[in-house]
A and B are shown apart, each in its own frame.
Chain A
Amino acid sequence: MAVFSSLADRLQETFRKLTGKGKLTEADINEAMREVRVALLEADVSYKVAKDFIAKVSARAVGSKVLNTLTPGQQVIKIVHEELVALMGSEQAKLAVSSKPPTVVMMVGLQGTGKTTSAAKIANNLQKQGRRPLLVAADIYRPAAIKQLEVLGEQLKIPVFSLGDKEKAVKIVRAGIEHAQKHGNDYVIIDTAGRLHIDENLMTELKDIQAAVNPHEILLVVDAMAGQDAVNVAAAFNQELKIDGLVLTKLDGDTRGGAALSAKAVTGCPIKFVGMGEKMDALEPFYPERMASRILGMGDVLTLIEKAQKTIDIDKAKEMQAKIRTAQFTFDDFLDQIEQMQKMGNMQDILGMIPGAAKQLKDISIDEKDLVRTKAIVQSMTQEERERPEIINSSRKQRIAKGSGAQVQHINRLLKQFEQFKKMMKQFANTEAGKKGKKGKNLKGFFGNMPFLP
Chain B
Amino acid sequence: MGLLNKLRQGLGKTKSNLSERIQNVLTLGRKIDESLYEELEEVLILGDVGVETSLALVEKLRSRAKEEKIKEADQLMGLLKEEIAVILASGGERGLQIEPNKLNIILVVGVNGAGKTTTIGKMSYNLKNSGYKVLLAAADTFRAAAIEQLGIWGERVGVDMIAQQAGSDPGAVVFDACSAAISRKADVLIVDTAGRLQNKANLMAELNKINKIIEREAPEANIQVLLVLDASTGQNAISQARLFSQAAPLSGLVLTKLDGTAKGGVIIGIINEMGLPVKLIGVGEGIDDLKDFVPEDFVQVLFEEANI
Contacts and interface: CB of A to CB of B under 8 A. Distances in A.
A373 interface: no
Interface stretch (A100-108, A254-262, A428-436): A254-262
Nearest to A253: B197
Interface stretch (B70-78, B168-176, B262-270): B262-270
A196 interface: yes
Contacts of A441: none
Interface string B161-182: 0000010000000000000000
A144 B262 CA distance: 26
Nearest to B47: A228
Contacts of A141: 285
B6 to A, nearest CB: 12
A367 B113 contact: no
A176 B217 CA distance: 49
A397 interface: no
A144 B145 contact: yes
Contact of A111 (B9, B46, B257): B257
A55 to B, nearest CB: 15
A227 interface: yes
Interface residues of B, number: 56
A114 B259 CA distance: 19
B196 to A, nearest CB: 9
A4 B269 CA distance: 13
A163 interface: no
B277 interface: no
A367 to B, nearest CB: 7
Contacts of B113: 111-114, 223
A198 B10 CA distance: 6
A142 B149 CA distance: 8
A346 to B, nearest CB: 14
Nearest to A147: B145
A197 interface: yes
Contact of B144 (A4, A44, A148, A197): A148
A47 B45 contact: yes
A256 B234 CA distance: 10
A226 interface: yes
A180 interface: no
Of B13, B197, B237, chain A has the most CB atoms within 10 Å of the CB of: B197
B148 A147 contact: yes
A311 to B, nearest CB: 26
Interface stretch (B17-25, B29-37, B51-59, B207-215): B51-59
A225 B111 contact: yes
B235 interface: yes
A42 interface: yes
B112 A43 contact: no
B51 to A, nearest CB: 5
A225 B233 contact: yes
A225 B145 CA distance: 24
A197 B48 CA distance: 18
B201 interface: yes
Contacts of B149: 142-145, 147-148
Given A141-B285, A227-B233, 4 more contacts: A144-B149, A147-B148, A198-B260, A252-B197
Interface of A: 1-2, 4, 38, 41-44, 47, 110-114, 141-145, 147-152, 155, 196-198, 223, 225-230, 232-233, 250, 252-256, 258-259, 278, 365, 367
